[in-house]
Amino acid sequence: MTDKLYHFIGGKRVDGTSGRFGDVYNPATGEVQSLVPLASAAEVDRAVQSAHAAFLQWSAMSAPRRSQVLFRFRDLLVQNVDKLAEIVGREHGKTIADAKGSIQRGIDVTEFACGIPHLMKGEFSSNVGGGIDTFSQRESLGVVGGITPFNFPVMIPLWMGVMAVACGNAYINKPSERDPSAPLFLAELWKQAGLPDGVWNVVNGDKEAVDALLGHPDVPAISFVGSTTVGEYIYHEGTRNNKRVQVFGGAKNHMVIMPDADMDQVVDALIGAGVGAAGQRCMAISVAVPVGEATADELARRLTPRVQELRYGPWNDAKADFGPVVTRQSKERIEKYIAEGVKAGAKLLVDGRGAKLQGYENGYFCGGSLFDHATADMSIYRDEIFGPVLTTVRAANFDEAVNLVNGHEYGNGVAVFTRDGDAAREFSNRVDIGMIGVNVPIPVPLAFHNFGGSKRSKFGDTQMHGPESIRFFTKVKTISARWPSGIRSGAVFSMPTAGH
């Protein structure tokens, strides 16, 4: 019998009442392993009401006391890494090693958030004029929503939700309906850590739940990670409803390879960054840009056998380089793009279509694929494929490579591999990309720096985790105070200045 999942509202498991459910698959076998309830607008409203009541208690708690809960939650995350990794593997398909790496990135942000008493400090200016002191203070917003993607079912809820909760907000996570069990388990850990009931909620659902959050008058802020198409809708709909919205969307990340680059390092970096997690990362390197024909020929010669040797397998295969993609539709979409690339004239050096694995014949596996001689007008270059497909676009010189990067609609991440510091510095200054790696293939900043792209990879002014997250999840009050001194100066009808 297929298990039914639940929502987590007000500190307890709550059965879905909408009558609608979605299938949750094991990507390695293609089997339905559970049913996830899809919330109605009424169920979302119930979660918001519960969260709002909890917010009033949680936001009034001192920052050091909130920090103590965060420390306990962090310890529980560390103790449950193995269990979380298994949950992620069964529903997403990630290998255990990859799942643990992503969970650790979530733990890193939790550790950063434990310093919230320092992070939320305001500013003070004494005697700005006429015996007036001016100071600012940061305050929580209320109930904030987090709409999180399938590819990081632990890391992204932690990146969003931990920072929101640390700042004194209540949080409602609407996770992907493809792999909702890990976010539900996080809610159980929060309860064990002593978080007041209702501060962290999980509401499963589809567009109906998303629209309910976007339109709810008691949800002042929404954070989203997912595709650009959906993200743009969420940004415009949320801001139309006068909400604070941050959106992190799609990507097409390039690796520019200069002629002087260490080619052994380049190939290792490309393989790991391109096909790790079966390419299902918004920071995956999916485009290699070798500069010069000699560089391109050498890259193709070295890269082809490495892609051919890649091993895919189920989440619990310790020898697998990557697991399956998340759904059958994803597999079909990836293979469709490969066919389009061949038809458009790109040279397919390694074909990963038709992947099968004994004992897992119905799994959603894609082998590694490698294209060469692609051009900027091809769909395999323009679109985010989100699969283990590497595409090479050759550039004649440095300027052409920079223009190629800047000409793409996405601006999430980019890498340049070179031994030339001057070339790396000029590249970093000229590209319009949010996160840049110099001889670093996946330049995801650590928790105490900010994460975010540019162009159509991000909507909104703020970034994720780091200091920017404090600004997003809080509002600022500025207070000017003067205490009676017994001296009266009379009424002043002109604009106050520093002298009054």
Please tell me whether residue 392 adopts helix, strand or coil conformation. strand
Helices of type H across 309-431 = 328-344, 379-382, 398-407, 421-430
Which pair of tokens denotes residue 205?
A: 């659902």
- DSSP H or E run through 244: strand 244-248
30 exposure class (CB count in 10 Å sphere: 0-12, 13-18, 19+): middle
- Distance between CA atoms of 399 and 221, rounded to whole angstroms? 41
114 a catalytic residue: no
Determine the angle formed by the axes of helices 81-92 and 96-113, rounding to 10 degrees. 130
Give the amino acid at 461: D
Residue of 114, 167, 282, 366 with catalytic role: 282
* Sheet strands (E) in 17-156: 21-26, 31-37, 124-129, 132-140, 143-147
CA distances from 73 to 184, 187, 189, 352, 383 (A): 14, 10, 7, 41, 39
Separation CA 31–CA 90 (nearest Å): 11
Yes or no: say if 146 and 171 are a contact pair by the CB < 8 Å rule.
yes
Residues annotated catalytic, as ranges: 282
